[in-house]
């Protein structure tokens, strides 16, 4: 399958794409297209752009090369997970020449940032695994000593390692913030056997990935997976469960450097920390209210943010 080569960040940022394929959907970061039918099940083209979002708002300034770094990290993990056979996944190829009918003129800008995938009916639950107490998990624990209905022992501090990783589902909101829900509530929204299956797969992948990352000096504090059921060539939903979307990227996961890790305080993370801090500064000054449109981001913050993504990729999958 793919190589684990990390490609150099693109010189020119790709903020959005307009490709001659049907059904473009634009997520916060990825542009998703339906590919022409090749007779072997419906396929999607997922293009990771250089858009960056924070507080669920897409910033007007791209981080050039971020889409390539995210794609390289996802590809590294798909490769790794496949060797351990933990889940069927949606990936077909990350090779531009394998995109059916892609116009020659657009190929260069897509290099390194595409995934051709099997289309799925997305299960509307975000499958989160947490091995450490951070973010919304920490906030919830402080109020209720539990996270998504999972009771934890008292006395834990911020960013503490949990005795056992926990599964904490959330809703997949079309607009706005995802919301943490109990396992029982997730079962009501889907079904108990399905959620039990997803919990097992989610914790298995988290366990494997966290162990791998730790050996490379990176703590995988938590991560979020999406799953779906594959569509056949007529677009009918099959019963084939697939791991979809990006996997284990800094956009879907919380990574901390192992060096300097110390429970009891927030940790510097390999993601949008610089951007978030910058934005919180604007919020404090009354210059931005965490709602669209986002403010323009200064070059120094863009560069520092790209460096964090790049460092994370280099540590996890050294070439």
Residue ranges in contact with ligand ADP by CB under 6 A:
27-30, 32, 44, 46, 90, 117-120, 122, 226, 228, 244-245
Question: Rounded to the nearest whole angstrom, what is the least distance from the CB of residue 314 to ligand ADP in the complex?
Answer: 23
Smaller CB separation from ligand ADP, 124 or 257: 124
Question: Rounded to the nearest whole angstrom, what is the least distance from the CB of residue 164 to ligand ADP in the complex?
Answer: 28
> What CA–CA distances, in Å, run from 154 to 62, 129, 180?
42, 20, 20
Tokens describing residue 175: 């607009």
Question: Rounded to the nearest whole angstrom, what is the least distance from the CB of residue 196 to ligand ADP in the complex?
Answer: 22
Smaller CB separation from ligand ADP, 244 or 297: 244
Q: What is the DSSP letter of 297?
A: P
Smaller CB separation from ligand ADP, 27 or 257: 27
Smaller CB separation from ligand ADP, 24 or 314: 24
Question: Rounded to the nearest whole angstrom, what is the least distance from the CB of residue 93 to ligand ADP in the complex?
Answer: 13
Residue (of 201, 202, 203, 171) closest to 186 by Cα position: 171
| Contact present, 250 and 163 (Cβ < 8 Å) | no
DSSP string, 156-223: --TTPEEEEEEE--EE--SSS---B--HHHHHHHS-HHHHHHHHHHHHHHHHHHHHHHHHTTEEEEEE
Question: Rounded to the nearest whole angstrom, what is the least distance from the CB of residue 258 to ligand ADP in the complex?
Answer: 27
Q: Nearest residue to ligand ADP, using CB?
A: 27
Smaller CB separation from ligand ADP, 112 or 228: 228
Residues 27 and 162: their CA atoms lie apart, in Å, by: 32
């Amino acid at each position: 399958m793919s190589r684990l080569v990390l490609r150099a960040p693109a010189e020119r940022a790709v903020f959005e794409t307009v490709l001659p394929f049907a059904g473009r959907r634009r997520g916060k970061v990825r542009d998703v297209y339906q590919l022409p039918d090749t007779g072997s099940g419906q396929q999607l083209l997922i293009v990771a752009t250089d858009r960056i979002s924070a507080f669920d708002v897409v910033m007007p300034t791209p981080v050039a090369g971020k889409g390539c770094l995210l794609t390289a990290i996802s590809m590294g993990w798909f490769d790794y997970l496949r060797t351990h056979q933990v889940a069927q996944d949606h990936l077909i190829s990350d090779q531009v020449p394998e995109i059916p009918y892609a116009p020659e003129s657009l190929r260069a800008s897509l290099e390194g940032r595409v995934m051709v995938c099997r289309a799925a009916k997305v299960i509307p639950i975000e499958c989160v695994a947490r091995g450490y107490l951070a973010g919304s998990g920490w906030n919830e624990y402080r109020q209720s000593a539990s996270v998504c209905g999972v009771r934890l022992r008292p006395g834990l501090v911020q960013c503490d390692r949990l005795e056992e990783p926990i599964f904490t589902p959330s809703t997949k909101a079309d607009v706005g913030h995802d919301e943490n829900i109990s396992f029982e509530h997730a079962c009501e929204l889907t079904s108990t056997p399905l959620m039990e299956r997803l919990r097992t797969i989610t914790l298995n992948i988290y366990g494997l990935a966290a162990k791998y990352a730790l050996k490379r000096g990176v703590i995988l504090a938590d991560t979020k997976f999406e799953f779906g059921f594959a569509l056949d060539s007529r677009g009918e939903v099959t019963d084939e469960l697939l791991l979809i979307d990006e996997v284990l990227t800094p956009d879907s996961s919380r990574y901390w450097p192992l060096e300097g890790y110390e429970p009891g305080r927030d940790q510097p993370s390999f993601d949008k920390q610089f951007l978030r801090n910058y934005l919180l500064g604007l919020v404090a000054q009354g210059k931005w209210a965490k709602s669209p449109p986002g403010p323009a981001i200064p070059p120094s913050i863009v560069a520092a943010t790209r460096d964090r993504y790049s460092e994370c990729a280099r540590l996890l999958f050294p070439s």
